[in-house]
Amino acid sequence: MIIIMNKDATREQIDNVEHKLSELGFKTHPIFGEVKTVIGAIGDKRHLNPQLISIMPGVENIVPIMKPFKLASRELKQISSIVEIGDVKIGGNEIVVMAGPCAIENESNFVETAIRVKEAGAKIIRGGAFKPRTSPYAFQGLEEDGLKIMASAREATGLKLVTEVVDTRDVELVASYADILQIGARNMQNFRLLQEAGLSKKPVLLKRGLAATIEEWLMAAEYIMAAGNPNIILCERGIRTYETATRNTLDLSAIPVIKELSHLPIIVDPSHAAGTWKYVGPLAKGAVATGADGLIIEVHLDPPNAFSDGPQSLRPDKFAELMNELKPMASAVGRII
């Protein structure tokens, strides 16, 4: 439920309401607005007589949250959230682009890629150090050595780092290097991993599952938020359908639906949706036109010899061309890139 405080409610009155709710077993999440403060309260409503709260000084109204996802709901927070990673802000007017190879292969190539994508306008470098693969015999990543390479690229370029964590045992290690923890599609409903990512307090990039509904996706985000981490970036990367012409079917309709249901920012991964580099550009443009807050694009110096996902990776020069093509599209929808 949401407790709406009067516009002239004092901080003491807000604290008193929070304290009372905590006594009743509720977790509270205050949101301080320019005009009013609201308090999100999550817990068992059977233990609450709403009248006890409604008569407290400073309380204006109590409104139930009808959606099963409470903290992620726009019912709780009407203003869109902005996830800040240093000076990079995801969810604001700027469309933020993350770019880099699927897998980190060696230091020289990764650092060179980071330099090239930064020159083209990317703000965040992506790369996989731990690689969950369909085949157990495929390249599984360089693990901590890969994280060290990412750190070298950050030192050389100033770019922020996003990389996937695949195991609860690795959350602390990955969080010690990365600026953003990525939860991949296969782990979207790995609830223990979601909880550990929430406890880490690091921003989380949460990819939509292979066949997940939007509600299931938002409920996965709820696990992270319930663990105390509000800094979540949703990522639409295509879902599995009967269509085989592309790797996955990119669900651009998810962008306006998420914007209506949730205050969380949403980005799009056209590379994993397409599976083929030549479709990445059109899908990226569609994502910008539909309202995405960012893009995550695979870029590799030598795609034919990539250890992973070469066919869907752009060369740096093609990535730079795409970034230039996206600028007028972003301007047309009142944003910058």
Q: Consecutive sets of 10 residues in the chain, 337 residues long: mean pLDDT of each?
A: 92 94 90 86 81 92 89 94 97 98 95 98 95 69 92 97 96 97 97 97 97 97 95 98 96 98 98 97 98 98 95 98 98 96
**What residues does CATH 3.20.20.70 cover in the chain?**
83-332
Residue 136 is predicted with a pLDDT of: 73
Residue 42 is predicted with a pLDDT of: 86
**What residues does CATH 3.30.70.1140 cover in the chain?**
2-63
Neighbours of 36 (CB within 10 A): 14
> For 82-150, what is the HEC assignment?
CEEECCEEECCCECEEEEECCECCCHHHHHHHHHHHHHHCCCEEECECCCCCCCCCCCCCCCHHHHHHH
Domain 2-63 has CATH 3.30.70.1140: yes
User: Which element (helix H / strand E) includes 225?
Assistant: helix 214-226
Strand 59-63 and strand 37-42: pairing? Answer: unpaired
Q: Which of 145, 106, 154 is nearest to 126 (CA)?
A: 154
Residue 55 is predicted with a pLDDT of: 93
CATH number given to 83-332: 3.20.20.70
Distance between CA 219 and CA 108 in Å, rounded?
Answer: 40
Residue 133 is predicted with a pLDDT of: 65
Q: Which amino acid is at 163?
A: T
